Amino acid sequence: MVHFVVQRTDQQLEPAEVVCDFESALIDAMQTQFPNAIVIGCLFHLKQALRRAMKRFLIPEEVCSIAMTRGVLDMLTVMEQSLIENGIKWVKREIRQRCDAAGIEYSKSKWRVFWDYFQRTWIELYDVSVWNVAGLNNELVARTNNPLERFNRELNDRFPKPRPSMATFVGVVKTLSAEYVQRVADVPRGRARRPVRERIVPVDIPADIADDSDDDEPAAVELISDGSSDEEGQVEDENEEEQLL
């Protein structure tokens, strides 16, 4: 489908970055059709997949919330790729220390299963470069495809009924396009403000950081199947968007 879109636009589409879901076929298509573009996996979908995995491994909600706090697990997405191994050790320690400070029980066995899953899925199945944006300008590069999904919802809401006529469809698209052009034009005129993206600032990680988070406890039994293909699904609950981002 992407190929036909490129052809119908006389091959004039030359995006610098492409943000998409974590679907292997979609990522491959983007990389094939736009070889000069940087393909970035949607941060919202990444965090949603990680939270679902935590729930599969029976990690309590209060511990999940600590891990999903901005600047903890998502720190892996902004640090240099060469530091990912030590970065995982830092994240393990950070989650454990925050749990201890809050008086929340930390289960080494459950987290060991989670990190095994993380290694298989986000290190081996997907290339780190798809979800790690170190070296890119955080203020210019979109981290999620939520704006596109929001536009899709807004477009559907404008239609008076499902399956509109061609005339209605064209009219709605023209009206909505004019509104978006006006919004963009209002920014330099001072009538509107460009949204400010909150940055995740990388931390300094000691080169000799130890990994002591998985010792002394037997591995947990996976009570629910760990299907890595789950990460290639669509958004199941868009209401989580504000919480996860």
List of residues 6+ apart from 176 with CB closer than 8 A: 154, 155, 158
Range from 42-46, 73-77, 231-235 that averages highest in pLDDT: 73-77
Contact by Cβ (8 Å): 36, 72: no
Measured CA to CA, the distance from residue 137 to residue 141 in angstroms comes to: 6
- 148 versus 159: the higher-pLDDT residue is 159
Q: What tens digit of pLDDT does each residue of 166-188 get?
A: 888 888 888 888 887 887 787 67
Mean pLDDT (whole number) for 193-203 = 64
Measured CA to CA, the distance from residue 90 to residue 210 in angstroms comes to: 8
Tokens, residue 85: 């191994």
Mean pLDDT (whole number) for 41-57 = 93
